[in-house]
Structure 1
Amino acid sequence: MPPLAPEAKRLMAARLARSLAQGALVVDFALYVTKLGWSATYLGVVFALAILVSVAITATIGPLSDRLGRRRFVLVYEAISIVAAVIGLTSQAPLLLAFAAIIGGFGRGANGSAGPFGPAEQSWLSGYVARRDFGSVLSINVAIGFGGMGLGALLAGTIGLGRDLFLLPLAASLVAGALLIMTPDRVSRPEAVRVNEAADAKAENGLLWKLAGLNVLNGTGIGLSGPFMSWWFATKFHAPVSAVGPALAIALFAAAGASLTSGQLTRRLGTVRTVVLMRGIGLVSLFALPFAPSFAVATGIYAVRSAFNRGTAGARQAVALGIVRGDRRGLAASVNNVSVMVPRGIAPALAGVLFDSGLLAAPFLLAGVFQGVYLLLYPRVFGGHDPSRP
């Protein structure tokens, strides 16, 4: 592992705190609101609105953080999260709880990131990391998030389906906020003007557009299945929360281990090849998942899917941040996040309708088609722009 600056360690520790709460809510939130009488369609609409609201914020945060600094924006996220947790603790009114879910990202999971303010967080961390180490360090950062979410998923069964489940996100935001306050900001300064400045900027912008196009495919695939996993396990196999929590935890721990492995593979195979290899295995498991004959088999397949698909998150972030100069990484992070979030905001509404219609396999198969096309195009677009290569 490359040496880490103390500032980078504090940012990673804040991610760990958030991930514990996010992991618990991934398991409990959908089941909690179902217990309150929410339908899958209503839940899908809330997930969709949450992502679309996040898009509006994410689109502006990255470029602004390039100019104004990172910390203030991430601290705003923690403040919003505290407000959302307090609402969850004090009210079960459908509209008010839906509002809290939308602003707080309840149940969607963000791998410990700062939600729509994630571009500021990513570019903040990248300022303490050498470009050649992006793949390994960002993969470690992602692994911390998955590991924390796994622990949170295990805690979900203990917490249960009462209002107390919102105590964990409240505590997590307080801890993360304290760590961020102790971490100095690092405002990006424009790099030296190059001879072919206009041509270089045009080339970077072209790559960002291609990144956005590919991410639309990827985000659609994620949105068709990801937010409903606890609901799907409970509906298809009649699994209680005490079983769903450990099932999701196994998948998250597998993703954490795979993320660490992908960080090592980026140094041997290159970042882009690592993404293609691991995502290919994940795609096969995605097509197999809806046909699992039992809860135990489904848990195993989902763990494989989670490991090889989610385990590439750090490597994919490294590619996105590596295609631009240092003073444009906030912009690159915003483009990367928004282009995934928009289709993720639309797809859950469609998935909710399909699930309510009894088509429990259709969203997974449709997701596989979108992610298969993404996987075919990814190496063609970014094969020559691998940050792990000189």
Structure 2
Amino acid sequence: MSLAFARNGRIWAKSRIAAWPSPVRRLFVARFLRSLAQGCLVVDFTLYLHSLHWSGTSIGAVLAGSFVLGAVLSLLVGPASDRFGCKRLLIGYEVAVALAFFAVAWSNRPAVIAIAAVFAGFGRGANGAPGCFVPVELSWLAGLIPVTSHGAAYSINTAAGFLGMGFGALFAVAPTLWSHALPGVSSYQPLFLIGGAIALVIAGLLATIPESRPPKKDIESASPLPPLAHDERKRLWYLGLISLFSGVSLGLSGPLIAYWFAVKFYLDPLQIAPALAASYFAAAFSAMLTGQLTERFGSASSFVFLQGLGALLLLGFPFLPSFPLAALVWILRFAIERGATGAMEAVMMTLVGASRRGLAGGLGTAALALPRGFGPLIAGDRIAANDLAAPFLLAAFLQILYVVLFGFAFLARDRGFTKI
């Protein structure tokens, strides 16, 4: 283990990616590569559907379906990784995502696009997370590092994802630049070929990373997993219930932001992409700072403070009169709120023992993803009706409620004891 882990007082050394073991660094790189395609599509996918004359409600329904499927599969995939290991599951996911990308590059039929988008999460802006397989990634990473380093590791992983999202969002201007050679909707097709190639590269990279523990060969040969303790079960249920509020909030305020900017200010990808790219770069920087905050103040305390501040900024966002001002506030709010993701993941991974991290990650992911599916449905309908403020006001209220409930339950963990 690196010297950085032995010197608990040297927070700056822990935050350097070079200080982490090679398998951990490769997982960071996989997150970065995955987020390149996601960052591009968070700008261009809804605009692509808009150019195909999909309604706002239809666009929201596809994104909603992706969140719902992700939630259901997360409940299955997380426990499966506890029993069988992470490596094969995550590699299989990347190959399936590559096929989804290539299918959309080949056909713009609504059924093909909808099926591929629902599974692969096109346009969701997942910060490099592997969709419904995010519990597998979190569990794999947790098994490669000591528990005391989880907050820093997850924050760096979050920062790597946001950095890739930023570069991907910058690349989202490409359809406008090559529109003379590829006019109309065909200008978006190369993006899906590039996304499929990236997914295959990630699958190859993951194949070089060792398992954090030897995988079980099959159910019959696997030793029974220990049952959850009463306190563990109670903490998981509480986190799952309050995450419903955050899930709806995130679905209302995030996935359709490019579409919202386009409708409110009459913009195209060339204008929207730089603003979203800046928000991701700012979030990457914020996530790195959050990693240091977790070392000093605790993961729960850092998360509550940053989420609360981001929710307050969201209250005034939809009333800003110009795109430059709205973009500036969105960048600041996005950086503050989303940069805290790693801190939340660190809290989630400490709620149970090491053998049930996949279950915790699956439940936490599902609790966010399932209600998040309602957000795009509501937001898409409101945007189509030109009611552009309601989605953000409701999102802010729900996020404030979530922060209060989260703080009540988990702030005590930073002081060495548990309330629930």
Task: Tell me the TM-score normalised to structure 1 length.
Answer: 0.95
State the Cα distance separating 1:350 from its structure 2 match: 1.6
* 3-state SS in 1 of match to 2:412: coil
Partner of residue 368 from structure 1, selected from 388, 396, 400: 396
Task: Give the letter for the 1:355 counterpart.
Answer: I
Q: CA separation in 2, counterparts of 1:137 and 1:53?
A: 28
Please state how far the C-alpha of 1:386 moved relative to its aligned partner: 3.5
Corresponding residue number in structure 1 for 2:231:
203
Contact 1:271–1:387 (8 Å) recurs in 2? no
Residue 186 (structure 1) shift: 2.5
Cα distance between partner residues in 2 of 1:180 and 1:91: 29
Q: 1:255 to 1:387 in 2, by over 3 A?
A: farther
CA RMSD in angstroms, aligned pairs only? 1.9
Deviation string, structure 1 residues 14-72 (Cα, Å, up to 9, x no partner): 11110000000000000011001111100011111111111221111111100100011
1:254 pairs with 270, 282, 290, which one?
Answer: 282
Question: Alignment length, in residue pairs?
Answer: 384
Q: CA deviation at 1:88?
A: 1.2
Instruction: Provide the rounded CA distance (Å) in 1 between the counterparts of 2:416 and 2:288.
Output: 16
The question of 1:68 aligning with 2:96 is answered: no
> Is 2:381 the counterpart of 1:353?
yes
Match 1:9 to one of 25, 38, 63: 25
Give the match for residue 182 of structure 1.
208
CA distance in 2, matches of 1:332, 1:146: 23
CA distance in structure 2 between the aligned counterparts of 1:159 and 1:388, rounded to whole angstroms: 52
Q: Unpaired runs of 5+ in structure 1? A: none
Q: One-letter code of the match for 2:54?
A: W
Letter in 2 for 1:379: G
Cα distance in 1, alignment partners of residues 89 and 213 from structure 2: 12
Q: In the TM superposition, what whole-angstrom CA distance separates every residue of 1:249-276 from its partner, at most 9, and x where no partner exists?
A: 0111111111001101111121111112
Candidates 134, 137, 162, aligned match of 1:121: 137
- The counterpart of 2:265, out of the listed 228, 237, 245, is 237
Q: For 1:169, what is the secondary structure of its paired residue?
A: helix
Distance 2:416 2:196 in 1: 38
> Runs of 5+ in structure 2 lacking a partner?
1-12, 177-186, 217-223
Amino acid at match of 1:56: V
**Aligned CA distance change for structure 1 residues 50 and 94 (closer, same or farther; 3 Å):** same
Superimposed CA distance per residue, residues 117-152 of structure 1 (whole angstroms, 9 cap, x where no aligned partner): 110111001111111111111100000000000000
Task: Report the Cα offset of residue 188 of structure 1.
Answer: 6.9
Shift of 1:389: 9.2
Check the 8 A contact 2:311/2:396 in 1, yes or no. yes
**Aligned mates of 1:350, 1:311 — CA distance in 2:** 25
**2:173 counterpart of 1:152:** no
> One-letter code of the match for 1:248?
L
Q: Is the Cα contact below 8 Å between 2:301 and 2:414 reproduced in 1?
A: no
Inter-partner Cα distance in structure 1 for 2:235 and 2:282:
31
Q: Which residue of 2 aligns with 1:172?
A: 198
Q: Give TM-score scaled by structure 2 length.
A: 0.88
Counterpart residue identity of residue 361, structure 1: A
- CA contact 2:72–2:370 (8 Å) conserved in 1: no
Compare 111-120 and 161-170 and name the one that shifted more: 161-170
Between the aligned residues of both structures, percent identity stands at 39
Verify the 8 A CA contact 1:154 1:245 in the aligned structure 2: yes
Question: How far did residue 168 of structure 1 move?
Answer: 2.4
What are the residue-to-residue correspondences of 1:126-141 with 2, within 5 Å? 126-141=142-157
In structure 1, how many angstroms separate the alpha carbons of the residues matched to 2:110 and 2:277? 28
Within 5 A, what are the aligned runs for 1:1-390?
1-2=13-14, 3-160=19-176, 161-187=187-213, 201-386=229-414
Contact 2:244 2:371 in 1 (8 A): yes
Q: Distance in 2 between matches of 1:387 and 1:335?
A: 25
**Could you tell me whether the CA contact under 8 Å between 1:323 and 1:385 is conserved in 2?**
no
Decide which moves more: 343-352 or 239-248: 343-352
